[in-house]
Amino acid sequence: MMAIGIIATLIMGSIPTFKEFGFGFVYSSEWNPTEGRESYGALPFIIGTIVTSLLALALTFPFAFSIALFLGEYFKEGRMASILKSMIDLLAGIPSVVYGLWGFYTIKPIIVELGLNAQGFGIFTSSFVLAIMIIPYASSLSAEVINMVPSNLKEAAYSLGATRFEVVKNVIIPNAGSGIFAGFILAFGRAIGETMAVTMLIGNSNKIPTNLFDLGNTMASLIANQFGEAEGLKYTSLVAMGLLLFVITGILNLIGKMVMKKFTA
């Protein structure tokens, strides 16, 4: 029974690999799907994926961390906490197409207004929406670990006259630091795999983006956009890209879980 689960994962890994080997090395170069002289390389998309996710992570950090502090340390119970928690749950439940729609109709005009990009698409726009999408993931894990910081440590610090900020800086962060880090790694993994919202906002250009407000593309969006009618070499490269995505998110999740394990040991 569970063997089914295991086999599932193995098969999944092997089939795309076979396809990839049949096509092999044209890899960290340019994506040129002009039928005829096709040469497929994944670099622009890898860059796009990493940049958007990193940016999203950076954007999310202040918010997620504050929420985590709030819920894990200062207001663990009570009405404020439940309201905040419900809101975070709501944020997490919203399907990504809806985020994409919101980004399109709300954020995009703002970007156009600010003159950052002529049509409002681009890396920044999608990272921004992505950041909001991963807030629940980053904050919930961090809140848990912050909660787990032994209270006698904190109380000792307070009794010595430390301000709240100092307690956070010198007690909570060193203690919960790796757990918080794990939470963000997992959120990063989530951001990398996010497809719909990014597809709707990133502008879908296949070149390496030159600045933060440029158009770009991510691995997931590429697959989403082109898989439907892909054949032959294009198909196998898209599948290979899927494998890449799988491997990257797999590694990130592994790291996150390992850090968590060490932390709770």
Partner 1 sequence: MMSLAFISALPLLSILFQLVKKGYKQVSLRFFTDVAPDTMEAMMAKVNHEIIPGGIANGIVGTLIIVGVASLIAIPLGLICGIYLSETSKGKMAGIVRFVVDMLQGIPSIVLGVIAYIWIVKPVTSGFSALAGSVALSIMMLPSIVRSTEETLKMIPSTLKEAALSLGVPYYKTIFKVLLPTGMSGISTGIILGISRIAGETAPLMLTALGSSAINLDITQPSSAIPLLVWEFYNDPNLIDLIWGASLILLLIIFLLNLGAKAISKKWKVQY
Q: Which of 189, 212, 259, 265 binds partner 1 (CB under 8 A)?
A: 189
The window from 28-36, 94-102, 117-125, 147-155 that contacts partner 1 (CB under 8 A) reads 94-102
Nearer to partner 1, 27 or 75 (CB): 75
Which residues on neighbouring strands pair with residue 32, listed in sequence order? Answer: 39
The number of residues in the chain equals: 265
* C-alpha torsion angle, residues 232, 233, 235, 238 (rounded to 10): 180
44 binds partner 1 (CB under 8 A): no
- Residue 105: CB minimum distance to partner 1, A: 7
How far is 60 from 53, CA to CA, in rounded Å? 10
Look at residue 265 and give its three-state secondary structure. Answer: coil
263 binds partner 1 (CB under 8 A): no
Q: Inter-axis angle of helices 232-264 and 219-226, to 10 degrees?
A: 140
Q: Determine the straight-line distance between the first and last CA of the chain, rounded to whole angstroms.
A: 31
Nearer to partner 1, 27 or 70 (CB): 70
5 binds partner 1 (CB under 8 A): yes
Residue with tokens 């999944």: 12
User: In the window 125-184, what residues touch partner 1 (CB under 8 A)?
Assistant: 132, 135, 164-165
* H/E element, 146: helix 123-147
How far is 61 from 131, CA to CA, in rounded Å? 8
DSSP 74: I
With a CB cutoff of 8 Å and minimum separation 6, the contacts of 73 are: 146, 147, 149, 154, 168, 172
Nearer to partner 1, 87 or 156 (CB): 87
Cβ neighbours around 261 below 10 Å, total: 10
Q: Which of 28, 76, 89, 258 binds partner 1 (CB under 8 A)?
A: 89
Q: Which of 167, 194, 215, 216 binds partner 1 (CB under 8 A)?
A: 194
97 binds partner 1 (CB under 8 A): yes
Q: Which of 43, 58, 87, 258 binds partner 1 (CB under 8 A)?
A: 87
- Residue 223: CB minimum distance to partner 1, A: 5
Q: Which of 52, 96, 126, 140 binds partner 1 (CB under 8 A)?
A: 96
Taking Cα atoms as reference points, which of 128, 102, 247 lies closest to residue 189?
247
Number of residues that bind partner 1 (CB under 8 A): 63
Residues of this chain that interact with partner 1 (CB under 8 A) are: 1-2, 4-6, 8-9, 11-12, 15-16, 62-63, 66-67, 69-70, 74, 83-84, 87, 89-91, 93-98, 100-102, 104-106, 132, 135, 164-165, 186, 189, 192-196, 200, 220, 223-224, 227-228, 238-239, 242, 245-246, 249-250, 252-253, 257
